[in-house]
C-alpha cells in the first residue's frame, strides 16, 4: 500500500484515501487531513443502500495539549485561501496499510499515531490515537471536536437555526440528531464529553472550486471530547442510528482485529482496493462505478466485474450480481443507472446489456455455476438478443445487414455519454463500431447453447468486415450509417475500434486488419494512463479535462484519456505480439499512479495533453478492474 514521507508538497498532502463500508457509504479524506471535496467525510452513509447517501460527520478538529503546547493534529481550509491550523509541520508519515495511519512528532522525541478505518460489516468508522514507543509525555490531553452536517452527499451545508445541537449522553455514548428526518449520529468513546456548541464557517473545498461548483460550507460542532493519553489509547467509534454496549476501547480493538484479518485474506494491494467497489443491493450485490460520487451503473458493473471479481476468483459475488441484474431485464435491455435517491432505473444504454452477455460468458467459463444459475443467465442473454432483434427503446434494432443500429436525437446511448444542457456531445447515432463488436460477441456467446443465433452471427460478421474497414488505412470507422443515413461514415479516430481486436472474448479482426487498428490507436491515442477518446489532430479535440461542468463535459469524450481502455488495448497488443515486456511498457505507469491521487486506486480520466493530469473520480471501478484483468491475462 502507499506510504508518504517528508518532504510533503501540497500535491502529496492532497492525495486521497478511501474506506468503504460495503453498503454504498464510505469515509474519505486526504493524507494532509484536510478536506478538499464536499464528499470527504468520516461518516457518510447510504440510507437506502446503495443510494440515499448522506453526510453526517464531515470531519474533526483535533489537537493535543502536551508540555504546555497545543499541537494540531488536523488541518482545516477556509475561504478564501486560509489553512488553519496546519498539522503538516509535525507530520512524519502517512500510510494506507492496513488503513489510513498518520504519525506525528510531538515535542523532541514523542510520536503520536492516529488512524481511521471503516469496519465493513458493521458500517462503523473507528478513530484511534496512541503514543508510539516509550517517549510519551507524562501529561497529554487529546481534544476532538466532531464537525457535523446532515445533508445529501452532493449538497453543501450552511448555518441555520433548524440544526439541533442537543446531545444525549449515555455512558460512553453520545447521540445527536441534527435533523429529524435523518439518522441519529452516535459517537462511542472512552473520553469525556463537554457540550459546547459552535458553528465553524466558510470551509473551502478546493476540488469543488476547480470543478466550477459551489465550494464553501458551514459545519456545526456540538461539543468536545477529551482523552487522557497517559491512560492509554483514545478511541472514537462513529455510527448512524446504532450503538453497542461493549466498552469503546474493547470494541475498537475487536473491530480492528476482524478488519485486519479480512483485509489480509483478500491478498494483494489491488485485491484489497477492488473490495471497496463490491456493495450490497437488496438481497444481492452490485458494483459502485466509482468513488466518491457514482452509484452503480450497468455498463460499468459488467465491465468492472471481469477484473474485480471473476479474475480474482470471487465468483459468489459475480454470480450474485449477475442474477440481481438479470431480474431487471426489460424489453431486452438492462438498466444503465439507478437514481441517487432511489426510484425507477434508467434504461438508456445500447451497450450495457451486451456487456452483461460478455460478463456472463466470463463467469460461465469458470465452471462455477450450478445448472439452475447457468440456465437463468443463458435465458437472460437470449432475451437480450431477442429484444434487440425485434427492436426496443431508442431505435435500437437489428438492421437488414445483421448489425445493430441505435439512437434518437437528444439521447446518449453509447459509453461516450456526456450530455450537458440538453446537448449530447458525442451522439454517435447509427451503427457504432464497439456496439457491433459487442453484438457479434454476444451472438457468438449465445450460439454455444442456442444455435438459432448462428446465422445472424455469420451475417453480422460479414457485414462488419465489408462496411467498417477504412480502405485508406486498414483501421476501422467509428460509426457507419451515421445519423441513420445509409452510407454516411464517421471517420473520427477514436478508441472504440480496439474492441474489434481486444477486450472481448472473440476478436473480429486478425492479421493485417488487427495490426492496422492497433497501430492507429497506438500512434494517435495511447498515453501512459490509457487511451485518448479522440485523436489530437481532430478539430474537435480537447486536451484538458478542466473547468466548469460545460467545459469538462465538452472534453469528456473528445480527447480525455480513460485508463480503463488500456485493458482492451493491451489485450489486442498481446494477441498480436505476445506478452513479453507488457508489464514494463504498459502497466508500469499505472502502478506508479497507485501512489498518487486516489491512493491504491486508479482514476476515472486524465488530460489528453501531457503530463496527463488525473481528473474525474479518483477511484474508478473499471479502471482498476481492467488492470486486474490484464494482470490475470499475463500471469502477474
Helix (H, G, I), strand (E, B) or coil at 121: coil
Model pLDDT, residue 7: 74
User: Within this chain, do residues 32 and 180 fall inside the same structural domain, yes or no?
Assistant: yes
User: Within this chain, do residues 191 and 313 fall inside the same structural domain, yes or no?
Assistant: no
Model pLDDT, residue 1: 66
Write the DSSP symbol of residue 586.
I
Q: Based on the structure, what is the number of domains in the chain?
A: 2
Cα R_g (the chain), whole angstroms: 26
- In terms of C-beta density within 10 A (0-12 exposed, 13-18 middle, 19 or more buried), how is residue 273 classed? buried
pLDDT in tens, 276-291: 999 998 888 999 999 9
Model pLDDT, residue 285: 92
Residues contacting 126, CB < 8 A, separation 6+? 116, 117, 118, 119, 235, 236, 237, 238, 252, 255, 256
Model pLDDT, residue 22: 96
Q: What is the dihedral of CA 555, 558, 563, 564, to 10 degrees?
A: 120
Q: Which residues of the chain have pLDDT under 50?
A: none
User: Within this chain, do residues 236 and 287 fall inside the same structural domain, yes or no?
Assistant: no
Domain that holds residue 288: 269-634
User: Within this chain, do residues 313 and 390 fall inside the same structural domain, yes or no?
Assistant: yes
Report the alpha-carbon distance of residue 463 to residue 469 in Å, rounded.
Answer: 10
Model pLDDT, residue 341: 62
| Last residue in a domain, options 266, 295, 324 | 266
Residues contacting 194, CB < 8 A, separation 6+? 223, 224, 225, 226
User: Within this chain, do residues 220 and 322 fall inside the same structural domain, yes or no?
Assistant: no
User: Within this chain, do residues 188 and 209 fall inside the same structural domain, yes or no?
Assistant: yes
Model pLDDT, residue 339: 66
State the pairing for strand pair 419-420/423-424. antiparallel
User: Within this chain, do residues 282 and 294 fall inside the same structural domain, yes or no?
Assistant: yes
Report the alpha-carbon distance of residue 344 to residue 501 in Å, rounded.
Answer: 36
User: Within this chain, do residues 372 and 295 fall inside the same structural domain, yes or no?
Assistant: yes
Report the alpha-carbon distance of residue 292 to residue 621 in Å, rounded.
Answer: 11
| Last residue in a domain, options 213, 247, 266 | 266
CATH number at residue 163: 2.70.98
Instruction: Report the length, in residues, of the chain.
Output: 636
Report the alpha-carbon distance of residue 560 to residue 525 in Å, rounded.
Answer: 10
Which uninterrupted H or E stretch holds 44? strand 41-48
| Last residue in a domain, options 266, 293, 311 | 266
pLDDT in tens, 611-629: 999 999 999 999 999 999 9
User: Within this chain, do residues 184 and 281 fall inside the same structural domain, yes or no?
Assistant: no
Model pLDDT, residue 241: 85
Sign of the CA dihedral with 27 first, then 28, 34, and 37 last? negative
Model pLDDT, residue 66: 86
Report the alpha-carbon distance of residue 126 to residue 39 in Å, rounded.
Answer: 18
Query: pTM, whole model, 2 decimals?
Result: 0.96
Amino acid at each position: 500500500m502507499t506510504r508518504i514521507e517528508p518532504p510533503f508538497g501540497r500535491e502529496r498532502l492532497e492525495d486521497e484515501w478511501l474506506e468503504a463500508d460495503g453498503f454504498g457509504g464510505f469515509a474519505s479524506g486526504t493524507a494532509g487531513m484536510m478536506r478538499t471535496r464536499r464528499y470527504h467525510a468520516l461518516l457518510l452513509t447510504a440510507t437506502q443502500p446503495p443510494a440515499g447517501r448522506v453526510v453526517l460527520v464531515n470531519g474533526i478538529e483535533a489537537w493535543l495539549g502536551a508540555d504546555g503546547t497545543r499541537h494540531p493534529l488536523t488541518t482545516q481550509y477556509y475561504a478564501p485561501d486560509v489553512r488553519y491550523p496546519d498539522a503538516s509541520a509535525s507530520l512524519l508519515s502517512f500510510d494506507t496499510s492496513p488503513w489510513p495511519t498518520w504519525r506525528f512528532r510531538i515535542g523532541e522525541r514523542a510520536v503520536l499515531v492516529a488512524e481511521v478505518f471503516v469496519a465493513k460489516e458493521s458500517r462503523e468508522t473507528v478513530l484511534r490515537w496512541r503514543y508510539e514507543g516509550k517517549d510519551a509525555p507524562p501529561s497529554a490531553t487529546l481534544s476532538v471536536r466532531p464537525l457535523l452536517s446532515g445533508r445529501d452527499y452532493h449538497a453543501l451545508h450552511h448555518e441555520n437555526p433548524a440544526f439541533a445541537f442537543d446531545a444525549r449522553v449515555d455512558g460512553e455514548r453520545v447521540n445527536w440528531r441534527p435533523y429529524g428526518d435523518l439518522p441519529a449520529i452516535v459517537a462511542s468513546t472512552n473520553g469525556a464529553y463537554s457540550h459546547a456548541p459552535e458553528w465553524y464557517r466558510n470551509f473551502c473545498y478546493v476540488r469543488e472550486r476547480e470543478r466550477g461548483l459551489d465550494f464553501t460550507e458551514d459545519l456545526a460542532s456540538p461539543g468536545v471530547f477529551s482523552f487522557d493519553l497517559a491512560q492509554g489509547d483514545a478511541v472514537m467509534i462513529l455510527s448512524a442510528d446504532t450503538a453497542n454496549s461493549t466498552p469503546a476501547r474493547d470494541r475498537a480493538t475487536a473491530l480492528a482485529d476482524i478488519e485486519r484479518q479480512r483485509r489480509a485474506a483478500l491478498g494483494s494491494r489491488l485485491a484489497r482496493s477492488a473490495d471497496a467497489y463490491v456493495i450490497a443491493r437488496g438481497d444481492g450485490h452490485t458494483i459502485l462505478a466509482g468513488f466518491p460520487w457514482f452509484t452503480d451503473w450497468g455498463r460499468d458493473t459488467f465491465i468492472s466485474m471481469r477484473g474485480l471479481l471473476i479474475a480474482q476468483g470471487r465468483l459468489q459475488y459475480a454470480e450474485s450480481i449477475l442474477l440481481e441484474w438479470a431480474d431487471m431485464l426489460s424489453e431486452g435491455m438492462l438498466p444503465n443507472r439507478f437514481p441517487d435517491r432511489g426510484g425507477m432505473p434508467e434504461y438508456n444504454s445500447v451497450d450495457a446489456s451486451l456487456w452483461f452477455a460478455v460478463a456472463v460468458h466470463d463467469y460461465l467459463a469458470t465452471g462455477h455455476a450450478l445448472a439452475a444459475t447457468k440456465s437463468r443467465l443463458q435465458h437472460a442473454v437470449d432475451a437480450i438478443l431477442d429484444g434487440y432483434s425485434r427492436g426496443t427503446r431508442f431505435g435500437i434494432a437489428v438492421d437488414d445487414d445483421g448489425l445493430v443500429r441505435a439512437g434518437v436525437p437528444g439521447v446518449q446511448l453509447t459509453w461516450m455519454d456526456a450530455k450537458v444542457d440538453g446537448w449530447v456531445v458525442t451522439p454517435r447515432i447509427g451503427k457504432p463500431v464497439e456496439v457491433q463488436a459487442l453484438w457479434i460477441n454476444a451472438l457468438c456467446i449465445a450460439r454455444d447453447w442456442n444455435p438459432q443465433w448462428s446465422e445472424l452471427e455469420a451475417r453480422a460478421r460479414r457485414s462488419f468486415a465489408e462496411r467498417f474497414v477504412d480502405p485508406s488505412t486498414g483501421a476501422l470507422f467509428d460509426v457507419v450509417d451515421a445519423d441513420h443515413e445509409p452510407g454516411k461514415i464517421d471517420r473520427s479516430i477514436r478508441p472504440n475500434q480496439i474492441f474489434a481486436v481486444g477486450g472481448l472474448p472473440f476478436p473480429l479482426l486478425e492479421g493485417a486488419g488487427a495490426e492496422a487498428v492497433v497501430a492507429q490507436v497506438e500512434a494517435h491515442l495511447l498515453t501512459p494512463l490509457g487511451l485518448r477518446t479522440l485523436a489530437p489532430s481532430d478539430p474537435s479535440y480537447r486536451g484538458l479535462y478542466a473547468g466548469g461542468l460545460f467545459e469538462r463535459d465538452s472534453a469528456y469524450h473528445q480527447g480525455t484519456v480513460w485508463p480503463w481502455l488500456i485493458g482492451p488495448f493491451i489485450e489486442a497488443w498481446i494477441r498480436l505480439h505476445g506478452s513479453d515486456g507488457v508489464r514494463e511498457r504498459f502497466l508500469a505507469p499505472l502502478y506508479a499512479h497507485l501512489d498518487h491521487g486516489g491512493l491504491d486506486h486508479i482514476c476515472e480520466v486524465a488530460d489528453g495533453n501531457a503530463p496527463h493530469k488525473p481528473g474525474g473520480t479518483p477511484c474508478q471501478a473499471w479502471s482498476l478492474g481492467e488492470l486486474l484483468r490484464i494482470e490475470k491475462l499475463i500471469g502477474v
